[in-house]
A = this chain, B = another copy of it.
């Protein structure tokens, strides 16, 4: 009965004492620094708790969930949100658990499980390879297209990249003679496909509101400042720079980081073999496809038919549960979803309350005063570049969005940058900056872990592709957004 669980044996020590102490000390130091003029003491104290939590996440002091439980406990007990009212303090500390954005992500995690459980995700990838996989470039586009098709419904880009694309990419590379344990074979095809699959994953994450978990968080923060966008308006803004990226990146990477193999005639044959092994498309795959189609249609037409994106997610999940593609036990067991719901709700709560308590507007005003006289056309790229390159410091896209999105948006808006333009560009940047390092975004460690790409290659090519991303999204994107009247 008291037998330790397997996880307890296998898992490394969850608490890192030194980073935890640093986290707590930094939190205490900020707490006891007197609040600057114009900032309420309670807002300042919340800032101390928030920054300590973010620091703890960056330093990996403990799992995010543990830090979040601690943050909720501290926020509630110190009463920063409602001094002198203990019931209201904890109620506000928990308020984000009822947030629809949190549940859009949570429910989408459950739906994504259906792609993996039914095998539909793999089948889609193999079908692309069967038709377009005759060359490394074709393989790159095939895997990218598969990721892109799955992106709207699989907001865990780690699950999408790590659970579906990565195993196919790796086994394909190995059967083409690129072996992780033989460095001289890395450049045959494995290294190229690894980096390309990762970049494609980031593009898919940027293009759809439901493409990665932090996008709805950005949506939420923007809404807190009166800037509202929907699933469809996000997609519409992203479609031109997104599709340009999808077309350009595999080819560009092919030129600057070429695979040694130029043709791969055996890949389509292998895909055909895999598809044969999978047999005819099963009933559950059809049902998954149906649910996916309904989700897509409702997300795209949600604005017209007045159906909220979160409601759509609940409808999709209900279909999968009632048709038994998923069981309720699958849902309960989807640890990644519960984990995400907890840390997401906690970070959103703190960041949102920092805004409500006036800290974010104060900070925005502060920067505005410093940069007085700068025109928005100069401020806009500066803000985006600061956001992009500060990602070298972050081991989590989510922590970065939580820490800086709202503040930078406030700064930019205060300086006259068109609000919707900035809100969207910062939103897209929240995925694109993943190119920079091998720890920059959820799936990065998975792809890096394939062993095909040296860390120096990862960083140098990542920087180059990052600059290309910025050029495409700010240049071509900026043009498109002008045409469509976003600014």
Q: Does residue A90 face the partner (Cβ distance < 8 Å to B)?
A: yes
Tell me the complex Cα distance, A2–B118, Å.
7
B96–A98 CB distance below 8 A: yes
Structural contact, B98 and A314, CB atoms closer than 8 A: no
Which residues from 53 to 93 on chain A have a C-beta closer than 8 Å to any C-beta of chain B?
62-66, 69-70, 72-73, 76-77, 79, 84, 86-87, 89-91, 93
Residues of B within 8 A of A70 (CB): 318, 321-322
Taking a contact as CB atoms closer than 8 A, the residue among B84, B100, B332 that contacts A91 in the complex is B100
B84:A94 contact, CB within 8 angstroms: no
Expressed in whole angstroms, the minimum distance between the Cβ of A436 and any Cβ of chain B is 25
Given contacts A86-B306, A307-B77, A307-B86, contact A98 B103 (CB under 8 A): no
In the assembled complex, the Cα of A332 lies from the Cα of B341 at a distance in Å of 11
Given A63-B328, A311-B86, are A4 and B69 neighbors across the interface (CB < 8 Å)?
A: no
Question: How many Å lie between the Cα of A315 and that of B74 in the bound state?
Answer: 8
Q: Per a CB cutoff under 8 Å, which of B1, B99, B100, B332 touches A171? A: B1
Asked if A174 CB lies within 8 Å of chain B CBs, one says: yes
Copies in the complex: 2
Query: A302-341: contact bitstring with B at CB < 8 Å (1 yes, 0 no)?
Result: 1000111011001101100110100111111101001100
Question: Are A66 and B7 touching (Cβ within 8 A)?
Answer: no
Q: Does A15 contact B (CB under 8 A)?
A: yes
| CB of A366 within 8 Å of the partner chain | no
Q: Chain B residues with Cβ under 8 A from A118's Cβ?
A: 2
Neighbouring B residues of A335 by C-beta, 8 Å: 329, 332-333
Q: Give every chain B residue within 8 A of A119 (Cβ-Cβ).
A: 2
How many chain-A residues does the 8 Å CB contact rule pick out? 72
A62 and B11 within 8 A (CB): no
**Whole-angstrom distance between the Cβ of A83 and the nearest chain B Cβ:** 10
At the interface, yes or no: A356 with Cβ under 8 Å from chain B? no
Taking A4-B117, A328-B14, A330-B5 as contacts, is the C-beta distance between A66 and B174 under 8 angstroms?
no
Our pick among B65, B116, B122 for the contact of A332 (Cβ within 8 Å) is B65
Other than the given A13-B324, A63-B327, A73-B315, 19 more pairs (CB < 8 A) read A2-B117, A5-B329, A8-B327, A11-B329, A15-B322, A63-B328, A63-B329, A66-B322, A69-B321, A76-B311, A86-B302, A86-B308, A87-B308, A90-B100, A90-B311, A90-B314, A94-B100, A95-B98, A96-B98
Contacts from A to B (Cβ < 8 Å): 1-2, 4-5, 7-8, 11, 13-15, 20, 62-66, 69-70, 72-73, 76-77, 79, 84, 86-87, 89-91, 93-100, 102-103, 116-119, 122, 163, 167, 171, 174-175, 302, 306-308, 310-311, 314-315, 317-318, 321-322, 324, 327-333, 335, 338-339
